[in-house]
Amino acid sequence: MEMNERDLHYLRLLAQQYSSIQAASTEIINLSAILNLPKGTEHFISDVHGEYEAFVHVLRNASGSIRSKIDDVFANTLLEREKRELATLIYYPERKMAMILRQLADHDEWYRITIFRLIRLCRVVASKYTRSKVRKALPHDFAYILEELLHEQESDTNKQEYYQGIVDTIITLDRAGACIVALAYLIQRLGIDHMHITGDVYDRGPGAHIIMDALMGYHSVDIQWGNHDIVWMGAAAGSQACTANVIRVSLRYASMATLENGYAISVLPLASFALDVYGDDPCTQFLPKGADERTYTDHERLLMARMHKAITIIQLKLEGQIIKRRPHYLMEDRLLIDKIDQQRGVIRLGAAEYPLIDTNFPTINPADPYALTVEEQAVLDQLQHSFVQSEKLQRHVRFLFAHGSMYLVHNGNLLYHGCIPMNEDGSYYALKVGDESFFAKEFMDRVDRLARQGYFTTDDPAQKQYGQDVMWYLWSGAHSPLFGKDKMATFERYFIADKATHTERKNPYYTFLSDVAMAEQILTTFGLDPATAHIVNGHVPVKANKGENPIKAGGKLIVIDGGFSKAYQQQTGIAGYTLIYNSFGLLLVSHYPFVSTEKAIEEEIDIHSDTRLVERVSRRLRVRDTDLGHTIERQIDDLNLLLTAYRDGYIKERR
């Protein structure tokens, strides 16, 4: 066949890696074999909101699938208590093993039995992977030994002594404990092939930074940004409005651990300012939620309330500045503090007038209500500097940018956190910027790019500011795909008693969640086949305790916010969902509240989970049916073309 120069240029580059007919042929054989392996297991989790203990446990137990494997492999050979002990050992190997060994006289026999059991289980979880992939997952210190154990059958009479000899030598050399730990983590690693986080790692719970550490150490993960993530990302980028929001939310829920302990961000400048300006203010409306006398003293709660009010006023001013700076956001209705009549203690909203609960506004100048005082600006500059200079926060946010996005199309499914902004009639909402309009996928693509611009741009301050303002808009904007409401009623909740003003109307998207035609339209818009694809959505807690079904639109759309955060568990009645997509189809796992890591280890209390079938495929899915499979098929096509070039004399072999 004839080849053009462009094809030959590419094939010469490929020939540097596969320098002969034999090398190219071997790789084609290897890749073709991989296509026939079962599809890897994907797990989808959403809205973990800093609940690190429960989240880390779900990672360790692979959403309950490791215990299911134990039940399958040891169904008739282990007692229930032995299965529980083995499962807990796999989840927390160092701590559980130490606890078990303290109660045993014969350590060697326990080591021997446990290693054999773990090897047997590991063979099962490794069976859907190539030897090469398993080899790459093996810990360096035990790579050769574990590979031998995993691929030998102890029932083979020819190699029984060899197999036993390896284990006996491990024990004799006092390496059995380390071997068990290595096997436990290998089983965890192979239990999930890929993890999707559909938004909201941050806020509410105490350990978002711990969750981020876990994700950074995870073997394969992607993240679809949530509104609570983007506001932290904006603060890390230097957005003062995002910084104020992060601090306000942390104070509102008395959740300062991530801020102070996780990222070493000191709020002392804010505390000093708040005592100076609001030292005589009871700040009743700003007392933190969840900060009871068992956790904080009355003095500490009052200090937090004063800091809370101080940063709230700063936030309202900064947001007003953005709204004026970006008229295309169409958020003029959120310009509120200029509507305050301080003398009469009321505010006018539209045609109505409302009395204010709190009328102490010492830093608001009626002549220029959105201007920061010199003292407020000084405090804000110090706080901004702390966020920008926090090495750990910057490391985590760079990971969110590198592994995250506004949405993801993966293996025929569409993943996003919040919504596709819509109008009341079901048409897509268009963000208008000058003469251009952006909607649905174009809207998401544009704000994704601008958010990155707000963080990474270094040579154009105006461009950087534009991107940072977009990050704030994504946090709380009227048509933000991440927020999904017409307003964030921050001012009303603090200052107006009439709860009718507190209402935040959801985007019309949420009225169409059960509409099959709408789900199919969205899937088509994002280039997916509506006959086979699904939307995976987080953000809005599913009220399972009231009978709400997370599976919507005839199974085309699945909402997986089940309340990982304790703050939402009264609404949902459960403690989170995991959606599992394996080679047999889709499963939805609902989790019940996690007690604690200590009880999980000491009393072997696992998270109780219920599993329901969402969809079973007509034939078992293989790697060839995935995005990876399509990439491999293109590689095979290229290698076949290289073979042709070798055989037709266009390229010479290098031996």
β 551-552/557-559 pair status: antiparallel
- Is 564 within 8 Å of 54 (Cβ atoms)? yes
pLDDT of 157 above 80: no
For the chain, helix (H) and strand (E) counts, in that order, are 25, 17
First-to-final CA distance of the chain? 24
| Cα 24 from Cα 78, distance rounded (Å) | 48
Q: Which of 420-424, 563-567, 604-608 has the highest mean pLDDT?
A: 420-424
- Is 388 within 8 Å of 381 (Cβ atoms)? no
| Cα 102 from Cα 82, distance rounded (Å) | 17
| Cα 13 from Cα 219, distance rounded (Å) | 30
| Cα 550 from Cα 558, distance rounded (Å) | 6
pLDDT of 293 above 70: no
pLDDT of residue 566: 81
- Is 65 within 8 Å of 581 (Cβ atoms)? no
With a threshold of 0.85, does the pTM exceed it?
yes
Which residue type is seen at 329?
A: Y
- Is 522 within 8 Å of 408 (Cβ atoms)? no
Which of the 8 DSSP states describes residue 106? -
- Is 233 within 8 Å of 79 (Cβ atoms)? no
Instruction: Name the band, by pLDDT with cuts 50, 70 and 90, for residue 16.
Output: very high
Q: Could you tell me which residues come within 8 angstroms of residue 189 by beta carbon, excluding any fewer than 6 positions away? A: 137, 219
| Cα 491 from Cα 502, distance rounded (Å) | 9
Instruction: Name the band, by pLDDT with cuts 50, 70 and 90, for residue 374.
Output: very high
pLDDT of 153 above 80: no
Extract the tokens encoding 445: 């693509």
Extract the tokens encoding 144: 């050769």
Over residues 205-258, the pLDDT tens digits come to 889 999 999 999 999 999 999 999 999 999 999 999 999 999 999 999 988 999
Parse the chain into domains and list their residue ranges.
Answer: 5-37+625-647, 62-191, 208-495
Which of the 8 DSSP states describes residue 402? H
- Is 131 within 8 Å of 151 (Cβ atoms)? yes
Instruction: Name the band, by pLDDT with cuts 50, 70 and 90, for residue 625.
Output: very high
**CA distances (Å), 404 to each of 199, 211, 216, 428, 576, in order?**
9, 15, 12, 24, 21
Tally the C-alpha atoms within 13 A of residue 137's C-alpha that lie toward its C-beta. 24
pLDDT of 446 above 70: yes
More confident call, 599 vs 363: 363
Bridge partners (DSSP) listed for residue 534: 413
Tally the C-alpha atoms within 13 A of residue 641's C-alpha that lie toward its C-beta. 17
Q: Over the chain, what is the mean pLDDT?
A: 92
| Dihedral sign, Cα of residue 162, residue 163, residue 168, residue 174 | positive
pLDDT of residue 305: 96
Instruction: Name the band, by pLDDT with cuts 50, 70 and 90, for residue 292.
Output: low
| Cα 16 from Cα 11, distance rounded (Å) | 9
Over residues 468-520, the pLDDT tens digits come to 999 999 999 999 999 999 999 999 999 999 999 999 999 999 999 999 999 99
| Cα 96 from Cα 40, distance rounded (Å) | 29
| Cα 424 from Cα 508, distance rounded (Å) | 5
Bridge partners (DSSP) listed for residue 117: none
| Cα 171 from Cα 329, distance rounded (Å) | 67
Give which of 452, 443, 470 is closest to 401, Cα–Cα: 452
Give strand ranges (E) for 368-491. 404-405, 407-410, 413-416, 430-433, 436-439
Which of the 8 DSSP states describes residue 485? B
- Is 149 within 8 Å of 168 (Cβ atoms)? no
Instruction: Name the band, by pLDDT with cuts 50, 70 and 90, for residue 155.
Output: low
Which residue type is seen at 76?
A: N
Q: Could you tell me which residues come within 8 angstroms of residue 16 by beta carbon, excluding any fewer than 6 positions away? A: none
